[in-house]
Amino acid sequence: MKTFYEIWRKYMPEFKVTFPGNKKVDVEIGKFTVKSDQKMLYGGDDTAPEPFTIFLSSIGSCAGIYAVSFCDTRGLNTEGMYLMLDISFKERQNFLEEIKLTLHVNKEFPEKYIKPIAKSMNHCAVKDQLHPDIKINTIVVYLD
């Protein structure tokens, strides 16, 4: 079986970056467009997330698809399930220190799958590209 990276390289879309005005930047990825902007404080129009926010959201999106796929293959209900990211930075530096991924699952989620779903989320290819000094903590909790 081919690895994710072998498949990705074969089918990698082009990334075309355009500049629609002011601080806005659009990235066309195949048939999709990812829009970014800057906050008004930094001269932007605040019409889209900033690039760093999009980067961080890709970690959640990647871990999230592993969680959903885990549930789908086992016929587990994902109703109400959501993932939260808590980001912390090194003191007085602009570098990530830790990313805490907290998956909230419904009360019917089988306890025997708590550790396995967290482990599956750690296979995220985006997370694998981060510097090894960045701590990634993945936990699963039951919804209140």
Q: Are residues 42 and 67 in the same domain?
A: no
Among the listed residues 119, 118, 117, 85, the one whose alpha carbon sits nearest the alpha carbon of residue 99: 85
Distance, in Å, from the CA atom of 141 to the CA atom of 86, rounded to the nearest integer, reads 14
> Does residue 131 sit within a domain?
yes
Cα 14 versus chain centre, distance: 21
- pLDDT for the residue numbered 62: 96
pLDDT at 20: 98
Q: pTM of the full predicted structure?
A: 0.88
pLDDT, position 1: 78
> Do 62 and 107 lie in a common domain?
yes
In a domain, 7, yes or no: no
Give the pLDDT means over successive 10-residue stretches in the chain (144 positions).
Answer: 77 91 96 97 98 96 97 97 96 91 97 98 92 94 93
Look up the domain containing 110 and give its range: 57-142
